[in-house]
Each structure stands twice: as C-alpha cells, then as structure tokens.
Amino acid sequence: MAMAANVATFTDANFETEVLKSDMPVLVDFWATWCGPCRQLAPHVEAVAGELAGKLKVGKLDVDQNVRTAGAYQVQGIPTLLLFRNGKVEEQIVGYVSKDVLRRTLDRHLQPAPVH
C-alpha cells in the first residue's frame, strides 16, 4: 500500500525517536493490511497530514509488524489513532471516524494555548 508523501512509517525501532521525542504533536495510525476499516480511514489520515503539515507529524504503524509498540499502548482494536504530545498520549480514537470528526478532534488539540 503506497503511503502519501507526508505520512511517515513508524516502527518499533524508530518510535521513540520519531514519536516520543518529536518537537511537534504526532498522530499515529495503528493499522494492519487485513483491516477493512483501516483502509477506509487511511485517506482521511493522509488528508489531515497534508492539511496540517508543519503543525502535526502523521504516521502509520503496522500492528502485525510492530507488536512491541502496539502492546505498549494497549492497542486492542484497529484502527486506533493516538495523538502524542511531548511523549504522552493526549487523545485516542478507536475505530473508523469521518474526516470531519478527525479534523475537529485534532484542531481542538492543536489550538494555541489561551493567553491569560
């Protein structure tokens, strides 16, 4: 399956460097090749990767090939989307969601902090 240019491939080997130590928020799409809903969600993930380039790093992690990372975050059902910021999970979306729901959820987390 070809990936969009702005969607990274995360693995057990690069997860810490690419995700946990990232300076910007990271959306990780936990998926598998045999998962129908994952294939339905993929275009939405690729679309928001393009729309939010520069504000959000986006990548996919194949749960069958990267069992350690999937297990570490207790990913049971797929697709599961986890939004990481500063190495911590800020948001979890399990199952298929529309692009609108995905974008609204991400926008909520990417808003600048209110200035008091």
Q: Catalytic residue at 7?
A: no
Q: Answer yes or no: are the C-beta atoms of 27 and 48 closer than 8 Å.
A: yes
Written as six digits, the tokens of 101 are: 């729901």
Q: Catalytic residue at 54?
A: no
Catalytic, out of 19, 26, 28, 38: 38
Owner of token pair 């990913």: 75
Catalytic, out of 35, 63, 81, 93: 35
Q: Answer yes or no: are the C-beta atoms of 45 and 81 closer than 8 Å.
A: yes
* Sequential DSSP letters for 18-80: IIIT-SS-EEEEEE-TT-HHHHHHHHHHHHHHHHTTTT-EEEEEETTT-HHHHHHTT--SSSE
Show which residues are catalytic. Answer: 35, 38
